[in-house]
């Protein structure tokens, strides 16, 4: 009775099951990340952080909001003006100046890779997990699809942990003030919550 290199016995009774496993291994795969069809905005945000980006003003300046703007755009705030010699837009009440926006010609968002960096750091762990799960597949304890589901869950957990751990390059002091957080990849938790996986078949 032949035995394969992971110690599983092959006989006439289980050959069809082995054939299905081989077929499924070629048919299924996992995809991990933020999927544009699910949330194009956060897919864009993830891409920006993964590779970095320089955002340039379409006209003269970008208007970077400060906390007093309370999420409003410049067009929604009456009485905005640019004090001479400054790079801000402000309002004035009873002689008191309140800066609302900082004016910048461009903003550079540095690369803060969390997907590629996770792969570099965790590839060995993921490979070891895959080997253990494959043993279970060939022992008929789990299906190929279930194997990929478990692997996908582990990969996503590791990427989310990477996001939580990133502290460099740090946010600017202005960004920290606006966000209320020093972690450059965590604002309201929207990005980390949308990291997910899919088991797809061809």
pLDDT digit string (tens) for 87-145?
999 999 888 899 999 898 887 776 778 888 898 899 999 999 999 999 999 899 999 99
Distance from C-alpha of 10 to C-alpha of 158, rounded to nearest angstrom: 36
Give the strand pairing for 62-65 and 96-104.
antiparallel
Instruction: Give the residue numbers spanning the domain of 87.
Output: 54-107
pLDDT bin (cut points 50, 70, 90) of residue 41 is confident
Distance from C-alpha of 104 to C-alpha of 44, rounded to nearest angstrom: 22
Q: What distances in angstroms separate CA 71 from CA 62, 83, 104, 179, one per listed residue?
A: 15, 21, 18, 11
Q: pLDDT at position 98, please?
A: 92
Burial group, residue 166, by CB count within 10 angstroms (0-12, 13-18, 19+): middle
Asked if residue 168 and residue 78 are part of one domain, the reply reads: no
Q: Is residue 93 in some structural domain?
A: yes
Burial group, residue 196, by CB count within 10 angstroms (0-12, 13-18, 19+): middle
Given a cut of 80, whether residue 12 has pLDDT beyond it is: no
Q: Is residue 5 in some structural domain?
A: no
Given a cut of 80, whether residue 73 has pLDDT beyond it is: yes
The HSE-up count of residue 148 (CA atoms within 13 Å, CB side) is 18
Average pLDDT for residues 16-35, to the nearest whole number? 89
pLDDT bin (cut points 50, 70, 90) of residue 1 is very low
Given a cut of 70, whether residue 38 has pLDDT beyond it is: no
Distance from C-alpha of 1 to C-alpha of 60, rounded to nearest angstrom: 78
168 vs 155, residue with greater confidence: 155
Q: Is the dihedral of CA 90, 77, 48, 180 positive or negative?
A: positive
Asked if residue 23 and residue 117 are part of one domain, the reply reads: yes
Asked if residue 36 and residue 117 are part of one domain, the reply reads: yes
Distance from C-alpha of 30 to C-alpha of 36, rounded to nearest angstrom: 16
Give the strand pairing for 88-93 and 96-104.
antiparallel
Asked if residue 191 and residue 174 are part of one domain, the reply reads: yes
pTM of the predicted model as reported, rounded to 2 decimal places: 0.62
């Amino acid at each position: 009775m032949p035995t394969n290199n992971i110690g599983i016995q092959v006989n006439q009774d289980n050959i069809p099951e082995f054939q299905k496993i081989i077929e499924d291994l070629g048919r299924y795969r996992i995809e991990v990340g933020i999927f544009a069809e699910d949330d194009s905005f956060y897919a864009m945000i993830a891409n920006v952080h993964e590779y970095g980006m320089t955002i340039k003003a379409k006209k003269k300046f970008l208007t970077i909001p400060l906390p007093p703007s309370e999420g409003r755009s410049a067009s929604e705030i009456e009485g905005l003006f640019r004090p001479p010699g400054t790079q801000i837009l402000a309002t004035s009440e009873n002689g008191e100046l309140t800066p609302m926006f900082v004016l910048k010609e461009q903003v550079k968002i540095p690369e803060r890779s969390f997907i590629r960096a996770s792969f570099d750091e965790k590839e060995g762990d993921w490979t070891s997990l895959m080997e253990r799960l494959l043993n279970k597949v060939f022992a008929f304890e789990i299906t190929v699809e279930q194997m990929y589901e478990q692997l996908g869950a582990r990969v996503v957990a590791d990427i989310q942990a990477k996001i939580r751990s990133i502290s460099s390059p740090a946010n600017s002091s202005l960004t920290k003030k606006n966000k209320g957080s020093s972690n450059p990849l965590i604002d309201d938790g929207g990005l980390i919550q949308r990291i997910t996986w899919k088991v797809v078949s061809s």
